[in-house]
A and B are shown apart, each in its own frame.
Chain A
Amino acid sequence: MRTPLIVPVAIGAFFGAISTRLPVGDSDVYWHVVLGKQVLQGHVALPEALSGLSWTALGYGGSSDQWLGQALLALAYDGGWRGLVALRAVAVALLVGLIVYAAIRERPGRPLGAVLAAFPAIALSRFVWTERPELFGFICFALLIVLLRAGRAGSAGALFWVPPLIVVWANLHGSFALGAILAIGVAAEGALAQPARMRMYLWTAAGAVIATLLTPAAIGAWTAPGFHLLHPPRSIQEWSVPDVTSLPGILFFVVILATFATAFFARTRAPREAVVLLPVLFVSLIATRQTPLFAIAAVPYLAAYGGEAATELAAMVRVRLPRMSSVARPPGRAADVMALAAASIVLAIAAATGTAAPDVSGYPVAALPALRPGPGLLNHYDWGGYLIANAPKTPVFVDGRLIPYLEGVLADYTTVIGVHPGWREVIARRGIKQLLVKPTDPVAVRARDLGWPIRASSDTFVLIDVP
Chain B
Amino acid sequence: VSWLARNAFPIGLAAAGFTLAVGLPTGDPDTYWHLVSGRWMLDHREILRTDIFSSTVAGQPYSVGEWLGEVVLALVFGMGQWTGLAIFRAFLVAIAAFSLARLARRGGAPLVAALLVVTWALVVSKTRWTDRPAIFTFVLFPVVLDLLYAARAGSRRALLAIPPLVLLWANLHGGYAIGIALVLAFTVEALVRRRPGAGAFALTLLASIALSFIDPETFGVGNAAAHALAPPRFISEEAPPDILEPSGLVFAAFVLAALGIAFLQGGGLLELLLLVPLLWLGLSAQRHLLFFVFAATPFIAAGAARLYVRIRRPTRSLRPMPAPAAAALALLLCAGALASAVGAPAVPDEHAYPTGAVDALRTGSGTLLHEYDWGGFLIFRVPERKVFVDGRLFPFYPAVLSDYRDAVELRPNWKDVLARYDVREVLLMPDKALAVALREDGWKVRAEGATFVLLARP
Contact = CB atoms under 8 A, between A and B. Distances in A.
Interface of A: 230, 232, 234, 241-245, 249, 253, 256-257, 259-261, 263-266, 269-271, 273-274, 277-278, 281-282, 285-286, 313, 316-317, 418-421, 423, 439-440, 442, 445-446, 448-450
A449 B433 CA distance: 13
Interface in B394-445: 409-412, 414-415, 430-431, 433, 436-437, 440-441
Interface stretch (B79-87, B89-97, B172-180, B261-269): B261-269
A286 B410 contact: no
A449 B279 CA distance: 47
A442 B230 contact: no
B260, B266, B276, B280 — most chain A CB neighbours (10 Å): B266
Contacts of A257: 276, 280
B436 A264 contact: no
B412 A439 contact: yes
Given A260-B275, A442-B409, A445-B410, A421 B430 contact: yes
Contact of B240 (A243, A449, A450): A243
A260 B276 CA distance: 8
B193 interface: yes
Interface string B267-300: 1110110011001100110000000000000000
B244 A260 contact: no
B241 interface: yes
B273 to A, nearest CB: 10
Given A257-B280, A274-B264, A420-B433, 16 more contacts: A244-B280, A245-B284, A253-B283, A259-B259, A260-B267, A260-B275, A261-B272, A269-B264, A274-B260, A277-B263, A278-B259, A281-B255, A282-B256, A316-B193, A419-B410, A445-B414
Nearest to B283: A244
Interface residues of B, number: 47
A245 B232 CA distance: 12
Contact of B433 (A263, A264, A442): A442
Contact of B262 (A263, A442, A450): A263
B192 interface: yes
Contacts of B440: 450
A458 to B, nearest CB: 14
Given A241-B242, A442-B410, A264 B272 contact: yes
Given A244-B284, A260-B259, A418-B433, A266 B272 contact: no
Contacts of A442: 409-411, 433
Contacts of A274: 259-260, 263-264
B267 A285 contact: no
B243 interface: yes
Contact of B263 (A241, A244, A253, A269): A269
Contact of A261 (B241, B276, B415): B276
Contacts of B72: none
A282 B250 CA distance: 12
B230 A245 contact: yes
Given A253-B283, A264-B271, A269-B265, A241 B431 contact: no
Contacts of B414: 445
A271 B436 contact: no
A232 B244 contact: yes
A130 B264 CA distance: 37
A446 B437 contact: yes
A440 B283 contact: no
Nearest to A261: B272
B266 A230 contact: no
Nearest to B281: A244
Contacts of B264: 269, 271, 274
26 contacts: A241-B243, A243-B233, A257-B280, A260-B275, A263-B259, A263-B267, A264-B266, A264-B268, A264-B272, A265-B267, A265-B272, A274-B259, A277-B259, A278-B259, A281-B256, A282-B252, A282-B256, A285-B243, A285-B255, A286-B244, A421-B436, A440-B412, A446-B410, A448-B412, A449-B415, A449-B437
Contacts of A266: 266
A261 B270 CA distance: 11
B235 interface: no
A261 B433 CA distance: 48
